[in-house]
Amino acid sequence: MLYPGALWRLNRSDKVVYLTFDDGPTPEVTSWVLDLLDEENVLATFFCLGKNVEAHPTLFKDLVQRGHRIGNHSYSHRQSFQTSTHIYVADVENAAKFIESKLFRPPYGQLGFRSFFKLRKNYSIVFWDVLSEDYNPDCTPEQVVDNVMRFTRPGSLVVFHDSVKAFPRLKMALPEVIVRLKSNGYKFGVLPI
């Protein structure tokens, strides 16, 4: 209701889940995630930071060539509520120089209304309905798995992070989540453009 037209969840009648990864590409982590997804025959959507794409163009190209969907996660991961609309939108547009995508996910899930209405003219604004909390050092990998399994339902958009900060939990939780979702009859999709 607050963000008309924003994506929180997709088709609720199909048993499809949408794995998404924020903050990459990160050499120490993204390559591992890509290899795991290949092994499991799973495609995902990666919301990339422009500064990381600029720093790691070969890794970003690999991500795209493996068939994953990409989205814009801003250039420098600013907090919308602490940044003027002009500067925030300019940061997103700066990322667009490196990331050709009409999908945008706001860092921290924060998006001021002025920024939302400006950005939705050119982007599909993507939030989520399941937050893994893999970024939280107070969570155990088991809690990350539980967060995903407890709240995932048909059409869920699940957030993970391909970042160094999240990796200690991600590397243990992600393989388990994929196995459990498959055993529960879920298929995996990428977000529509």
Residue positions annotated with a catalytic role: 22, 161
Contacts of residue 2, Cβ cutoff 8 Å, sequence gap at least 6: 113
Nearest to 118 by CA among 157, 86, 71, 160: 86
| Distance separating alpha carbons of residues 183 and 140, to the nearest angstrom | 22
Strand partners, 74: none
Residue 185 phi, psi dihedral angles, 5° rounding: 85, 10
Place of tokens 């050709």: 100
For residue 111, give the DSSP letter: -
CA dist., res. 182 & res. 179, Å (int) = 5
Cite the beta strand spans of the chain per DSSP E.
16-22, 45-48, 69-72, 103-104, 124-125, 130-131, 157-161, 187-188
Q: Tell the residue number behind the tokens 């055993």, with chain if given.
A: 183
